[in-house]
Amino acid sequence: MSATPDDILPPYQGLALSGVLVVKSASDAASALQALAAADVIGFDTESKPTFAKGEESTGPHLVQLATDDSAYLFQIGAAPPPQVVALLRTVLESDAILKVGFGLGDDLRRVRAKLGIEPQNVLDLSTALRRRGERNPLGAKTAVARFFGQEMQKSKRITTTNWALPRLSDKQILYAADDAHAALRVYRRWRATQDAA
């Protein structure tokens, strides 16, 4: 199903809070690793605290989001990320067996390399992969969700520019971050299904 920007679309229904795990303990990390390592494809995104001063360098990523078909896992990355979290992210992101999909991943990949020393492998940037012939601009998650699901993904600027470095994230931040990774995976699955059917 496709949609034009002028259509009034029903809202995109993302994950519920019960489907999102903010990884805080060793048992959380073990559950996340088990689910992520078993996946063939995962959604991938990061969030960074915005910078407002001219010339100010970002210290992000402050949050790394990974999603399976039915859950999302959020990893808070402080100034000194816990070694077990970095090890888990390295295992998943550097795996050749797991495809990582997301939108506009250039900056995310650069920050993950710089801050965590992780070199993600087997990554597909949907912003360029889904671009139709003749389209010049990269495709964003909002446009892709409208195109593939006929729904509008809410992208509140207030949430986008919020402080992702906070030790405790709000429910709105958690759902926004989870949806960014999970929607990418859903779009990828739908896109592949249409490719296979063609």
pLDDT tens profile 113-146: 999 999 999 999 999 999 887 777 778 999 999 9
Task: List, for residues 160-169, the tens digit of each pLDDT value.
Answer: 778 999 999 9
CA angle 115, 156, 6 (to 5 degrees): 125
- How far is residue 170 CA from its own chain's centroid? 17
Q: Is the pLDDT of residue 29 over 60?
A: yes
Q: What is the mean pLDDT of the chain?
A: 90
The whole-number pLDDT of residue 106 equals 95
Q: Cβ neighbours of residue 140 under 8 Å, at least 6 residues apart?
A: 103, 104, 127
What lies within 8 Å, CB to CB, of 27 at 6+ separation is: none
pLDDT score at 55: 64
Burial class for 182, CB neighbours closer than 10 Å (0-12, 13-18, 19+):
buried
Is residue 92 within 8 Å of residue 123, measured between CB atoms?
Answer: no
Q: Where are the beta strands (DSSP E) in the chain?
A: 20-22, 41-47, 63-67, 72-76, 99-102, 123-125
CB 4 within 8 A of CB 145: no
Lowest mean pLDDT among 10-14, 65-69, 132-136: 132-136
